[in-house]
Amino acid sequence: MRYLLIDRIHEWKAGEKIRGVKNIAMSEDFLEFHFPGRPVMPGVLLIEAFVQLTGWLEAASSDFKNWFLMTAVHQCKFHGFVFPGDQVELEIHPLPESGPDRRIYSGIGKVGGKKKVTVEFGGELIAFEDLEDRDEQRKFFRVLTREG
């Protein structure tokens, strides 16, 4: 099974930042057992949403030559739960410690303007073509950004 956890990309600037959203629908299968009778978005999937958004930043910034592969979470803090019906606004920025092949990012997730999660994570770049068809993913990126 594959979870696509970014529903829309609102803004991006090559190598500098990206902003997107994850809509939490009651129909998401992971909510059935997390937790029965009180569905909450799993924190690890929120982190995965940040990582996927970072992948899109790296892909778009490199003409779809690179993708981001997370290797470490340096710190993560949750400031409240994310529930069905919420729209999580995600924002990612590279940190100055990033290098040519190694990246470190910080992210913040908000619901209704209220901070819900902050995260700092690192990873490496891998060849995009080793994962996906570049042309198909360019088309999907245009859908996410509403660019044509």
Look up 34 and say whether it is catalytic: yes
Counting Cα atoms < 13 Å in the Cβ hemisphere of 85 gives 2
- Whether the CB-CB separation of 106 and 118 falls below 8 Å is answered with yes
Distances (CA, A) of 53 to 10, 58, 94, 96: 11, 9, 12, 19
| Structure-block tokens of residue 59 | 């892909």
- Which tokens is 28 given? 């998401």
Say which of 34, 74, 79, 93 is annotated catalytic: 34
Query: In 3D, which of 6, 10, 4 has the Cα closest to residue 146?
Result: 10
> Where in the sequence numbering do the catalytic residues fall?
34
